Chain A
Amino acid sequence: MYDIAAALVVQQLAEFLGALSEASDAPNAYRLASTSAARALDAEMVAVLRGGAVAAAVGFPAGQAPARELSAVVSGERATVDVPGCGPCRAIFAPSGTEPPEYLVVARAGPDGFTVEEASLVRGMARVLELHVHMVQSLAAERRQAALNRELVDSLSERQRLLEHLSGIQRAIARRTSLPRVLDMITAGAHDLLGRDGVTLWLLDSEEPDMLVLKSEVGLLQQTARRLSRATLAEAGTVGRAVVEDQLSTVAGPGEVSMAVPVHDSGTVVGALAVAAHGGEREYEKRDRDILHAFAEHASLAVTDAKTFQALNKAHHDQVTGLVSRSPFVEQLQRGLSVAGCAGDRLGLLFVDLDGFKLVNDSLGHAAGDAVLAEVGARLRACVRNTDTVARLGGDEFAVLLADFETDHEVIAVAERVLDQISRPFDLTGQEVFIGASVGISLSDPTSPDADALIRDADLAMYHAKRTGKGRYEVFRPEMQEAFEKTVNLATELRRALERDEFVVYYQPICTLADGKLVGLEALVRWRHPTRGMVTPMEFIPAAEDTEMIIPIGHRVLRQACRSAFEWNQQRTPAGLPELTVHVNVSTRQLRGDVAKSVADVLRETGLAASRLVLEITESHQALDLTQVCHQLQRLKDLGVGLAIDDFGTGFSSLLALRQFPIDTIKMDKSFVDDLDEHSDRSDLARAIVQLGRTVRRDVIAEGIESDRQRRALLDCGCRLGQGYLFGKPLDHVATTALVSETRFTAGLHRHAGAH
């Protein structure tokens, strides 16, 4: 047999606990406790008192529980509670263990009162209630903390995502990812963090300042994106206002909630990043604004960087050819050398210098020159792989950087392709132009990755190629460096020689071919070296030109020659001899600055009549600016000075010079004269040159006449004047002074006559 009363207490306490388990907060626990206790004890009234106030009660009409009467029960002043409709009801109560205690008060109608088990049950209920309230309050506190933790975790998680997006964007900017791609990353990132809303990025049209162009979007329907591709500031709503007012702009209407933040380029508004939610259920909070601002700032960063990079790129690339320009090329070369050095690889460098480009540029204009340069760039690129680099170093100088080759032959093969390609005609709107190139090749030393040295070596090799005939390549050899150093040393010596007055002038007679009468003298410079003896012009003039020493040396020779000529004429005139003309060689290299003034000063200084001076124009091995040369020659001509073209038939286009330059005299190169002895066909050339001179009314002076046969042959051709050993070797100033004083000088003819 069961102890029914005990079982009942257990059951009712279990039910009470079960009922309370539904309560998730204290007020509900009090309410459920009241109802459940009333049900278990078949009570008319149950109340929970807290601090003298009724926390919950059943049995009274709502809100009418008598707190004072109930308090009187727990204080022992009363044993009954008046319950409406039931009259005085016997009451018991139990305190909780809390401080201050809560009281569970139970009242039941009828005369029986409460049993011991029921009193125990009420105490148990009070205890259960206390524990449960404590638990739900703890749980509530934990829930609050958990909610805070969740918020914190969410916030951290969101912040982490934000940082991931932003760092990804920063990396993309640093890697020079294209601007459209970076802008897409920005809208995608904002969309990810701002939810399902549409995110758009607008930039002002550079050509229409009041027009916004949609550059990137995420979350728009395709047709919407198409419709929104362009909009005026006025049409663009929130976006337009953000741009115009340069500040956050928001709209919160029934149809749309949107927000836009301006995007800047170097501080100037150039667009806006916007987010919009359609349907009006969305509210943007500070967190959303912060996110949009963060992405907008990165959009500003991307736009500014792209513009800067564009400008930088412009500076780094040659505008004519589109090739890399010198400075970035050198940097790239240096990086390449470092990498190759680490791997034990070599790089090949081709220094390409165009031959004859100046002529094209001067004769056809800069536009044509640029067109040729652009085509050269294209041809060079076509000669190499995509992985190789072609640069324009400046002027008509190019460089090609080669990597990943097995043998030197591969590099040489590229040089040969370059020479072949550049030698092919260039079509300038129907006009064919031919130029050439000289190529210097240097190969890197993995143990010495020095970009400047590699370029210098290639430059030297190119110089050597040009000096040795143009249109060819040379691979750098250490002796080239030695030769270069020798040239540099020579320049130093030349400067010292000038200071020590070691340059002396020799004079070679120019005579009539018919009777050997002296009509002039060609001044020829010699270097009386203190240790090497007399050095010929062929040995030092090129170096003097390269080092610009040709100018002071030339000036020294001119002054000496003019002074001597004046003196000699002063002697000849009283003797009834005709005045002599002195010929002085002038390199086109010297035709710079105010050369006319310089010559005029010399003439004034020495007293020589301008008509007694002939300047023989010799071609420099360096490029000519024909326009400049022409201009200078004309000014000299205006002084009354005679002009001769030296070594006619060799060097630069003599016919071009004859046509363009104000030339009085042609000096036929010795090579034509030499041939007059044996090759009849070559004599035709000499005859043709003489005939040409007569046709264009220029005097012709034959050079290098060594035999009477040559003299006669030239006479037969119609040539009137000449010079050469037949008439006399170059003589120093003393010997020449003696010569010019002879009243009956008939050079050459005497000896040959005597020989007959």
Chain B
Amino acid sequence: MDHGLGTHTAQSTRWFKVGTSSETDPHRAGAVAASRALAGPDPRLLVVFCSIRLDPHAVLAGIKEVAAGVPLIGCSSGAEIGVEGPGMGVVAVAAFGGSGFTVRTSAATGTRTAPREGGNEVARSAFAGMDDTNQFMLLLTDGLVQDQDEIIGGVYEMLGAGVVLVGGAAGTAVVSDSGVNADTFHMYDGEVLTDAVVGAAITSDGPFGVAMRHGFQEVGEPMVVTRSRKGRIYTLDNRPAVHAYLDRLGAPAEAYHDKKAFVAFSRLRPLCVLRRATEEVRFVTDDVDLDEGSLMCVGDVPEGGVVWPLDSDADSTIETVDRAWPAAVEALGGRSPLGFLAFDCGIRQDILSQSPTGDRVAEEVSLMARQAAGLPFIGFYTWGEIARIRGVNGLHHQTLVVLAVG
């Protein structure tokens, strides 16, 4: 599913640049990354992916030091993606500049308790008075929000089908990273927010392309959800869900009775819920009840529905880059891209890092660099990917979303 919109006018100028910094001093890291991104005149927007390991206030202060007055949105990340490779503790900044871009930033808080209202708020009047060609909205939601669909739904209610939505959900550190801020954060112009969603309504006189791919394979025949409530699945094909799921995937024996073993196995093997034209991936959480035999998924799994267990490996995960990236470029309708933003699922990072043949995360990022072919790109490992290209469905899991800025 790809999207490309855009026209080009010779009179306008557009530029897209990125900058990253691994400086340990957050202020300096912010300033350096922003300086590197601000390579042209008339910057219109800064997009910041800031490591959860850095003090966001200091980072923001550093950025504002070199980019005062430039509209800005950003969010926290557990791991960052840059031309130089994957990183942890990195500040990655992308800059949209030139008169060809028109940007308005917005933010809303309280999405953990009222996600739809947050979506409404961040999109309300986002494009008011702006040119209605080549609109898209860059959204950075909060990965700690349970019902992120609701945020996207709230945005869609405001904007309708005419605006493409793209972005990702802010992440935080994995539990093993002790001493690291466990809460997500967002940046909105000069502020650091928590429990928030930030957005940038962008119109461009150039095209942009969005593509989304995942690297899972459906395993076996579909299974009917014979008993469920919200995200908890009690039975699949009238069997205890845990057994049906593990049996289908050929899980090791310990996964049936050892919760730790189950979680290690299941976190890389989601369920796919059948949709009309696509599938929706449902991550299987650690909230499993081995005695009862019930699974818990992120997002609803309706009773009576059809699901497939999904399996993946590092090869298919990496291979996703080679499918998504060209699709995004292709969506530009033949126009040359200025650069890319990548929103890659954190689970995919886990798959790669825990590959039987060693950590292959860098391999994926280098593949991205190869696909970018020298053009600037940054990204981060997300806790939810956003790509609403058509229809109302815009939130995805365990996917790679690529935005090609034309």
Contact = CB atoms under 8 A, between A and B. Distances in A.
A13 B274 CA distance: 13
Contacts of A11: 225, 273-274, 302, 304-306
Nearest to A83: B161
Interface string A37-56: 01111111100000000000
A1 B222 CA distance: 9
Interface string A426-464: 000000000000000000000000000000000000000
B390 A44 contact: yes
Interface string A14-43: 110010000000000001000100111111
Interface size class of B (residues with CB under 8 A): 35 or more
Nearest to B391: A42
A118 B276 CA distance: 10
B45 interface: no
B158 interface: yes
A85 B3 CA distance: 12
Nearest to A117: B276
B377 interface: no
Contacts of A38: 391-392
Contact of B276 (A41, A62, A84, A86): A41
A64 interface: yes
B289 interface: no
B76 to A, nearest CB: 28
A7 B391 contact: no
B49 to A, nearest CB: 28
A31 B158 CA distance: 12
A61 interface: yes
B157 A84 contact: no
A369 interface: no
B175 interface: no
Interface in A71-111: 83-86, 108-109
A59 B305 contact: no
Contacts of A41: 276
A145 B391 CA distance: 41
Given A4-B306, A44-B390, A62 B158 contact: yes
A7 B305 contact: yes
B300 A7 contact: no
A44 B132 CA distance: 17
Interface size class of A (residues with CB under 8 A): 35 or more
A15 B305 contact: yes
Interface string B119-137: 0100010010000100100
B393 interface: yes
A61 B278 CA distance: 25
A4 B124 CA distance: 39
B159 interface: yes
Contacts of A86: 161-162, 390
Nearest to B225: A11
B124 A62 contact: yes
A156 interface: no
Nearest to A1: B221
A599 to B, nearest CB: 116
Contacts of A62: 120, 124, 157-160
B153 interface: yes
A186 B29 CA distance: 73
B163 A40 contact: no
B162 A85 contact: yes
A10 interface: yes
Contacts of B161: 44-45, 59-60, 83-86, 109
Q: Which of A1, A7, A13, A39 is the most central at the interface, judged by chain B CB atoms within 10 Å of its CB?
A: A39
B305 A42 contact: no
Contacts of B124: 62
A8 B160 contact: no
6 contacts: A11-B305, A12-B302, A35-B392, A38-B391, A44-B161, A61-B127
List the 10 shortest-distance A-B pairs measured between CB atoms, nearest first.
A85-B162, A11-B305, A84-B162, A38-B392, A44-B161, A14-B302, A10-B304, A42-B391, A15-B302, A59-B161
Given A2-B221, A2-B306, A39-B393, 19 more contacts: A7-B222, A7-B305, A7-B306, A11-B302, A13-B304, A15-B305, A31-B157, A38-B392, A39-B391, A42-B391, A42-B392, A44-B392, A45-B160, A58-B153, A58-B157, A59-B161, A61-B127, A84-B160, A85-B162
